Amino acid sequence: MQTDEIHHESCLETLKRLPDKSIDIVVTDPPYLMNYRSNRRKEKFKHIENDVDSHGLIQNYLSECYRVLKDNTAIYMFCSWHHVDFFKIEFEKHFKLKNIIVWVKNVHGTGDLEGSYAPKHELILYGHKGRSLLRENRIPDVIECPKVNPESMIHPTEKPVRLLETFIKNSSEKGDIVFDGFIGGGSTAIAAMNLERKFIGSELDENYYNQCIKRTTYAYSYQLSLFDI
Ligand SMILES: C[S@@+](CC[C@H](N)C(=O)[O-])C[C@H]1O[C@@H](n2cnc3c(N)ncnc32)[C@H](O)[C@@H]1O
């Protein structure tokens, strides 16, 4: 099995090739199932692949993640509050849900400007296959972390490397393999590299795949500790 690889294909194709119980941690950020498009960057980013009606994809993905994870490991899965009911039900078909972690951002989004509160958080389902112990000091399930600077963003829903590092550090060891089937601009791979873990990922969109390869290759060649490149 090759590691430190990003594949330009559906995550389900990548997963098919992975043996049972071969992965140490899944940190992943599936499509939001809501036709997401940032209001602030209409010109910069297009709609995300499989962002509507991909409930079957998520169901198969979770079942495959369970198969490839070793026993006594952890999974972290971002999800929008809009569909947390669906994600939680599917997640709990396989994993023991331990927390719904709240990521509090430094700035709020838009939404219904006159009829709703300004959205400033995202949810992460955190669960176990078997039982996984935290490696670091226990921290609260509400985590403050700034969003990626819009100027340097290469993906419309790009997640901060520092936040992903918190999860990877807490639930894996150096040399372990991190899997993210929806790797977007590659933040999970950069977090894994910074922490001396290996990674396997996939991305369907050619543009994001190319950006991700560029970013991880750059990180490799300079052996940097990287946050927002
Ligand atoms: C929410 S975004 C992930 C963003 C990523 N966490 C980052 O920090 O850049 C979900 C990504 O999944 C990709 N995607 C959608 N369906 C896919 C599939 N079947 N296999 C692999 N990638 C897929 C989309 O193109 C999108 O880039």
Q: Is the CB of 73 under 6 A from ligand 1?
A: no
Q: Which tokens sit at 77?
A: 């899965």
Which of these ranges, 5-19, 28-42, 208-222, has the smallest mean pLDDT? 28-42
Rounded to the nearest whole angstrom, what is the distance from the C-alpha of residue 76 to the centroid of ligand 1?
A: 15
28 C-alpha to center of ligand 1: Å? 9
Lowest mean pLDDT among 40-49, 68-77, 91-100, 154-163: 40-49
Q: Which residues touch 92 (CB under 8 Å, ≥6 apart)? A: 127
pLDDT 10s digits, 57-107? 999 999 999 999 999 999 999 999 999 999 999 999 999 999 999 999 999
Q: What is the pLDDT of residue 48?
A: 76
pTM (predicted TM-score): 0.93
CB of 202 within 6 A of ligand 1: the answer is yes
Task: Give, in degrees to the nearest 5, the angle at Cα 200 between 25 and 80.
Answer: 60
CATH for 5-222? 3.40.50.150
pLDDT of res. 2: 76
CB of 187 closer than 6 A to ligand 1?
Answer: yes
Crossing angle of the two packed helices 187-194 and 161-171, in degrees rounded to 10 = 50
| Chain-centre distance for alpha carbon 221 | 24
Ligand 1 contact via 181 beta carbon (within 6 Å): yes
Closest CA to ligand 1's atom 8: 158
Is residue 161 scored above 60 in pLDDT? Answer: yes
Task: Please tell me if the CB atom of residue 10 comes closer than 6 angstroms to any atom of ligand 1.
Answer: yes
- Which of 46-50, 92-96, 164-168 shows the lowest per-residue confidence on average (mean pLDDT)? 46-50
Is 184's C-beta closer than 6 angstroms to any atom of ligand 1? Answer: yes
User: Atom 24, ligand 1: which residue's CA is nearest?
Assistant: 49
pLDDT at 228: 45
Give the whole-angstrom CA distance, residue 191 versus residue 226. 8
Sheet order of strands, 5-7 included: 5-7, 198-202, 177-180, 23-28, 69-79, 121-129, 96-104, 142-144
Q: How confident is the model at residue 229 (pLDDT cuts 50, 70, 90)?
A: very low
Rounded CA Rg of the chain:
16
Q: Is 29 in the pocket of ligand 1 (CB under 6 A)?
A: yes
Higher pLDDT, 4 or 66: 66
